[in-house]
């Protein structure tokens, strides 16, 4: 590789980093999301006969056009509902109106689409009207449908193949001299096809997310259109599709040109945008703090996976057929595979470091590994990557005789030792590719389900404050309804057998820690239940004067006090500290290794500057004897 080639590579790297930073600067922390936080009636709860209002609180912004809510009795009798998403609480509260419900056990099935990351979640709330249900339904369903997972696997695989084709089309195939021209053209062609597949899979994905069972095509298309146009996730996804179209067109343009360096640089910039938009539309950008850093880590993770898994797959497709001829097997091992080996090693370190960091941010504790789909799949993915690393280590020793000799001396092996015969190199590469393909499937699951942190955040409950006033039992609840909104809920019931006059109006006067007051009238949701939305309270001691209006009687007033804790930044948990430390150590070791080789005046990772077929043939064929 020439110094000019290094300068070109540096320029491409600078372009990639600039594109990442430009796109990640706009990543603002989103409010916590991850599923159903609570419901009224609660799962397994009981309400009075005649209830006509149901409320669902989500810790995410809900896309109304792509969400469904079905209510039916345990006997299968369907009840018509009208659902509305509040526009004043970041779309996290869904109110459902029904006809007055009779005594029975009911099941409310819901499926919602997050407008932040495009992930759908579903579940059920089981409750009784005038009777207690015998069982409790699942509050959330973490695993998406099989078609969604398959499409996500295809989509990720296609993007990784494009990254891999770009990674090996320059330095790796260039190390082969004229022998690398045909494989380079094939790799660009495979990258073009893969980019086209990613465009198609990306176009289908929103339709699967917004599909409603039994809905007409017109309603389906309208829901998909509204999701793409009116939601942040939809806008990011459309931008991703546009960038993928540019990648596809530029790669197709590069297949008919020689040299294709300028076209490939355009591909690199567009591909950087695709990767950045993927991270912004995923889990990382919705973290409550340090979301930009997490999004950058997510983008780097995808790039590193594409270089290793995608690049290895491209090389296997383009070079293994050529290696059946013994006269070129040695030069190919000594040039392309040996050149790719340190590149893949660096990508692997970045992959592990960013993977550890992401796991610590999205998994609150070790118990979440076994209790959530996300945590369990991350563990499976780590196991698969570990096995793939074992095969990668063996393959690295096969293509690097000098490194194998050093390892052999440490292990006390004879001169010319390699872990397995070089004639089995193709089989070992195929095994590594297969394991990585399965690992990409696990990554598809990880990026399609709520994270363990989101599941943990969705389990929080708000305590009730209670009081009595003139024969009335009052419960007061103040809970978050968005990043800047709060919801007040007052329930009232008589505690005497002969109720004098029913309550016909409720108002709350809030007194803050600075002494300022605000009167908030509440709306009757159903008999005995009143709600209203107001600004999020500041930290400090608060007092709520609940006024209960009754015809012909003096208003009953009760005082309820509570304290709003000072909001503290998200503290790092022990698992996060451990995984982040591992990430830093891995990256520091990588930078130290690169700096050491540079000081020895070698090209990074010890790559050869020229191809020497005579040396390669002697090293490989000699050991085969």
Smallest CA-to-CA distance from 455 within 383, 365, 355, 536 is with 365
pLDDT of residue 418: 81
Which band of pLDDT confidence, cut at 50, 70 and 90, is reported for residue 221?
A: confident
pLDDT of residue 271: 92
Task: Please compute the mean of the pLDDT values over residues 448-460 and round it to a whole number.
Answer: 68
Residues 71 and 163 reside in one and the same domain: no
> Is residue 463 scored above 60 in pLDDT?
no
- Angstrom distances, CA of residue 80 to CA of 44, 52, 572: 21, 11, 46
611 lies in a domain? no
> Is residue 306 scored above 90 in pLDDT?
yes
Residues 434 and 309 reside in one and the same domain: yes
Smallest CA-to-CA distance from 393 within 374, 371, 420 is with 420
Q: Where in the sequence is the domain holding 193, given as residue range(s)?
A: 3-30+144-453+574-606
Q: Burial letters for 156-167: b for 16+ Cβ neighbours within 10 Å, e otherwise? A: bbbbbbbbbbbb
Task: Please compute the mean of the pLDDT values over residues 513-525 and round it to a whole number.
Answer: 88
442 lies in a domain? yes
- Angstrom distances, CA of residue 211 to CA of 9, 435, 448: 44, 32, 16
pLDDT of residue 371: 80
Residue given tokens 């030069």 in the structure block? 331
Residues 393 and 477 reside in one and the same domain: no
pLDDT of residue 90: 55
Residues 271 and 376 reside in one and the same domain: yes
Q: Who contacts 497 (Cβ-Cβ below 8 Å, separation ≥6)? A: none
> Is residue 128 scored above 80 in pLDDT?
yes
Provide the CATH number for the domain around residue 506: 2.60.40.1930
Residues 116 and 242 reside in one and the same domain: no
Residues 358 and 501 reside in one and the same domain: no
Number of other CB atoms surrounding residue 80 within 10 Å: 9
Max avg pLDDT among 250-264, 333-347, 607-621: 333-347
For the chain, give percent helix, strand, coil, nearest 5: 55, 20, 25
Residues 218 and 362 reside in one and the same domain: yes
- C-alpha to C-alpha distance for 497 and 495, rounded to whole angstroms: 7
pLDDT of residue 316: 92
**Whether the Cβ atoms of residue 378 and residue 361 lie closer than 8 Å to each other:** no
What pTM, to 2 d.p., does this model score?
Answer: 0.71
Residues 10 and 57 reside in one and the same domain: no
- Angstrom distances, CA of residue 336 to CA of 146, 174, 289, 562: 38, 8, 43, 68
508 lies in a domain? yes
Domains contained in the chain, number: 3
Task: Tell me which of 258 and 516 has the higher pLDDT.
Answer: 516
Residues 152 and 206 reside in one and the same domain: yes
**Whether the Cβ atoms of residue 355 and residue 301 lie closer than 8 Å to each other:** yes
531 lies in a domain? yes
> Which range is least confidently modeled, 285-294, 370-379, 450-459, 543-552?
450-459
Residues 109 and 217 reside in one and the same domain: no
Encode pLDDT of 345-374 as tens digits: 999 999 999 999 999 888 888 888 888 888
- C-alpha to C-alpha distance for 27 and 43, rounded to whole angstroms: 35
Task: Tell me which of 515 and 327 has the higher pLDDT.
Answer: 515
Provide the CATH number for the domain around residue 62: 2.60.40.1220
Which band of pLDDT confidence, cut at 50, 70 and 90, is reported for residue 260?
A: low
**Whether the Cβ atoms of residue 116 and residue 286 lie closer than 8 Å to each other:** yes
622 lies in a domain? no
Which of these three, 106, 129, 152, is where a domain ends?
A: 129
Percent of the chain topping pLDDT 70: 79
> Is residue 2 scored above 60 in pLDDT?
no
Residues 101 and 152 reside in one and the same domain: no
546 lies in a domain? yes
Max avg pLDDT among 263-267, 374-378, 549-553, 602-606: 374-378
pLDDT of residue 40: 80
- Angstrom distances, CA of residue 103 to CA of 44, 135, 327, 390, 528: 15, 17, 83, 62, 19
Encode pLDDT of 383-397 as tens digits: 999 999 999 999 998
Residues 155 and 171 reside in one and the same domain: yes
Encode pLDDT of 130-175 as tens digits: 877 765 444 444 466 788 889 999 999 999 999 999 999 888 988 8
Encode pLDDT of 599-613 as tens digits: 775 544 444 433 444
Residues in the chain: 625
- C-alpha to C-alpha distance for 110 and 128, rounded to whole angstroms: 17
139 lies in a domain? no
pLDDT of residue 262: 66
pLDDT of residue 135: 54
88 lies in a domain? yes
């Amino acid at each position: 590789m020439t110094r000019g080639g290094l300068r070109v590579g540096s320029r491409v790297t600078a372009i990639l980093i600039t594109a990442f930073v430009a796109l990640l600067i706009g990543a603002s922390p989103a409010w916590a999301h991850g599923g159903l936080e609570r419901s009224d009636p609660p799962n397994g709860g009981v309400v009075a006969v005649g209830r006509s209002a149901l409320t669902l609180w989500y810790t995410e912004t809900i896309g109304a056009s792509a969400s469904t809510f079905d209510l039916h009795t345990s006997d299968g009798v369907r009840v018509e509902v009208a659902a509305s998403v509040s526009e004043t609480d970041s779309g996290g509260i869904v109110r459902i109106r029904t006809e007055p419900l009779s005594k029975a056990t009911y099941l409310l099935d819901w499926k919602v689409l997050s407008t932040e990351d495009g992930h759908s979640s579903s579940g059920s709330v089981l409750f009784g009207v005038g009777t207690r249900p015998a069982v409790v339904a699942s509050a959330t369903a973490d695993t998406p449908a099989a078609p969604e997972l398959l499409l996500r696997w295809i989509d990720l695989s296609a993007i990784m193949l494009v990254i891999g084709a770009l990674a090996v089309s320059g330095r790796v195939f260039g190390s082969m001299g004229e022998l690398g021209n045909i494989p380079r053209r094939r790799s660009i062609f495979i990258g073009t096809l893969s980019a086209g597949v990613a465009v198609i899979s990306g176009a289908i994905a929103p339709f699967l997310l917004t599909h409603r069972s039994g809905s007409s095509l017109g309603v389906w298309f309208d829901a998909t259109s509204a999701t793409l146009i009116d939601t942040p996730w939809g806008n990011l996804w459309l931008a991703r599709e546009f960038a993928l179209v540019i990648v596809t067109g530029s790669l197709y343009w590069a297949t008919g040109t020689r040299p294709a360096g300028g076209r490939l640089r355009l591909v690199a910039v567009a591909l950087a945008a695709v990767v950045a938009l993927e991270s912004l539309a995923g889990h990382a950008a919705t973290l409550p703090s340090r979301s930009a850093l997490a999004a950058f880590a997510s983008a780097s993770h995808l790039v590193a996976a594409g270089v290793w898994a995608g690049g290895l797959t491209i090389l296997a497709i383009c070079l293994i057929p050529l290696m059946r001829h013994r006269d070129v097997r040695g030069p190919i091992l000594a040039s392309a595979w040996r050149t790719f080996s340190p590149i893949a090693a660096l990508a692997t370190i970045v992959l592990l470091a960013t993977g550890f960091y992401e796991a610590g941010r999205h998994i609150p504790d070790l118990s979440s590994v076994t209790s959530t789909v996300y945590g369990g799949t991350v563990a499976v993915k780590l196991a698969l990557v570990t096995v793939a690393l074992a095969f990668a280590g063996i393959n690295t020793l096969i293509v690097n005789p000098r490194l194998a000799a050093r390892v052999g001396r440490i292990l006390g092996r004879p001169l010319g030792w390699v872990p397995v015969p070089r004639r089995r190199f193709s089989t070992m590469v195929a095994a590594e590719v297969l394991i990585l393909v399965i690992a990409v499937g696990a990554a598809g699951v990880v990026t399609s389900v709520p994270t363990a942190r989101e599941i943990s955040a969705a389990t929080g409950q708000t305590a009730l404050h209670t009081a009595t006033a003139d024969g009335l039992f009052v419960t007061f609840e103040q809970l978050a309804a968005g990043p800047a909104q709060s919801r007040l809920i007052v329930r009232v019931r008589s505690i005497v057998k002969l109720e004098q006059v029913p309550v016909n109006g409720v108002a709350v006067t809030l007194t803050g820690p600075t002494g300022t007051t605000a009167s908030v009238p509440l709306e009757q949701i159903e008999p005995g239940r009143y709600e209203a939305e107001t600004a999020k309270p500041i930290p400090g001691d608060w007092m709520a004067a609940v006024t209960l209006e009754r015809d012909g009687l003096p208003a009953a007033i009760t005082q309820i006090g509570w304290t709003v804790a000072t909001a503290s930044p998200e503290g790092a948990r022990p698992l996060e500290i451990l995984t982040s430390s591992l990430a830093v150590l891995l990256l520091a070791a990588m930078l130290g290794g690169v700096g050491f080789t540079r000081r020895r005046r070698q090209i990074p990772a010890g790559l050869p500057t020229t191809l020497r077929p005579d040396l390669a043939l002697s090293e490989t064929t000699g050991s085969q004897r």
